[in-house]
Amino acid sequence: MEQITIGQAEKLTSPNPFALLTVQTPEGHTNVMAISWWSYASNHPATVVACLSSRGYSGQCIQSSGAFGLSVPGPQLKDAALRAGTCSGRNMDKAAELGIPLEACGGCSQKMVSGSRLWISCKLKDTLAVGDHILYVGEVESLLADPSVEGLYAWEGYGRLDTVRRNDC
């Protein structure tokens, strides 16, 4: 065994479930960000967590709106979803400029990404500062799925996005 960095550890534990986080901005638009630092946290009540940089625009929007969504996009959005992780929504409408289709979801507080395997809509329940990130705890308000869509995973950290096939594991 040898000493490694946290970034190297992240690459060694790939693939990670990938999602596009959506949140309503103070101006009423939908911001989209790439995220693989999310997880299920509780079954009763259904709860997920998302860990975002403490400096990021999406976290500010979550705190002001009190809600966020996670969409697990399909392979047709692979390139746009990867690019969503390389820019900030503070100065651009990522969904429009990157061609990420959004749609209203009954029972959801924000728009979700069309063509996804899974939609998880959450009401913000709590936050926890963790180093240079903030952990957002979301109580699930709606879960919708299309199992016919293959979900994307983050490989090699955020080196690439792809589906998981049996021969990948």
Residue 26: cis peptide before it, omega within 30 degrees of 0: no
Q: Does domain 6-162 have CATH number 2.40.10.10?
A: no
Tokens coding 103: 């749609």
Mean pLDDT over 42-61 rounds to: 96
The letter for the amino acid at 112 is M
- What does DSSP assign to residue 150? P
pLDDT band at 143 (very low <50, low <70, confident <90, very high): very high
Question: Which of 27-43 are b and which e, b meaning 16 or more Cβ less than 10 Å from the residue's Cβ?
Answer: eebbbbbbbbbbeebee
29 within 8 A of 64, measured Cβ to Cβ: no
For residue 167, what pLDDT is reported? 59
Which of 37-41, 104-108, 158-162 is predicted with the least confidence, judged by mean pLDDT?
104-108
The model carries a pTM of 0.92
What residue segments make up the domains of the chain, in order of their start?
Answer: 6-162
What does the alpha-carbon distance between residue 68 and residue 84 come to, in Å, rounded to a whole number? 16
For residue 107, what pLDDT is reported? 73
pLDDT tens digit string along 90-107?
889 999 999 999 999 887
What does the alpha-carbon distance between residue 138 and residue 127 come to, in Å, rounded to a whole number? 9
pLDDT band at 12 (very low <50, low <70, confident <90, very high): confident
